[in-house]
Homo-oligomer: A and B are copies of this chain.
């Protein structure tokens, strides 16, 4: 039964609108429990000259990046040990927490800390989830780790999960859990 209309200034890509409709529909469906056929979402596009708020016409710029894509790009840069690229995605108040409640602010700290745990590590991602909040987006991703222990032996298939808080296109917070200790033991 929910019929949603969202009015936007024209200019967004079809994929963007499709994803937006999908998400709005999922929200409405989840809240109301309506059957799929009962959920209709429509985008009403108006020219910028046909929309006025506070007495001013508005322009749309490119929409913000999907927080999941920001996270993915950061993770890829980290995987490639490209610290400069990685740092571009960090909020000035960035903080990360790793297993054992180890809290760090700088990527260099992380690298030092990791040296005592494994020679190398890589991530296979199973899934990225996004949570919509008023100020931030939260991204969860999980999958498995593979790499080499300090003694040179290999590991793989070790479960991990990351939780990121993304604000204004930057990572504000990263929390990491994994089964490395479980497995190492």
List residues of A whose CB falls within 8 A of some B CB. 1-9, 14, 16-33, 36-47, 49-55, 57-58, 60-61, 63-64, 67, 97, 99-101, 129-134, 137-138, 140, 142, 157, 159-161, 163, 175, 177-185
Contacts and interface: CB of A to CB of B under 8 A. Distances in A.
B60 A32 contact: yes
B63 A32 contact: yes
Residue among A43, A54, A180 having the largest count of chain B Cβ atoms under 10 Å = A54
Contacts of A183: 100
Identical subunits present: 6
A40 B42 contact: no
Contacts of A182: 99-100, 180-181
A157 B137 CA distance: 26
A127 to B, nearest CB: 9
A36 B142 CA distance: 31
A126 to B, nearest CB: 10
A53 B34 CA distance: 12
- Complex A-B, nearest 7 residue pairs according to Cβ-Cβ distance, in ascending order: A177-B177, A181-B182, A43-B50, A36-B54, A181-B181, A14-B49, A33-B64
Given A4-B4, A24-B24, A131-B131, 9 more contacts: A3-B3, A16-B31, A26-B133, A30-B137, A33-B63, A43-B50, A44-B50, A101-B159, A181-B182
24 contacts: A1-B9, A1-B53, A3-B6, A4-B6, A4-B24, A18-B57, A20-B31, A21-B50, A26-B132, A30-B64, A30-B67, A30-B137, A32-B64, A33-B63, A33-B64, A38-B53, A39-B54, A41-B52, A43-B46, A101-B159, A129-B131, A140-B140, A177-B177, A185-B185
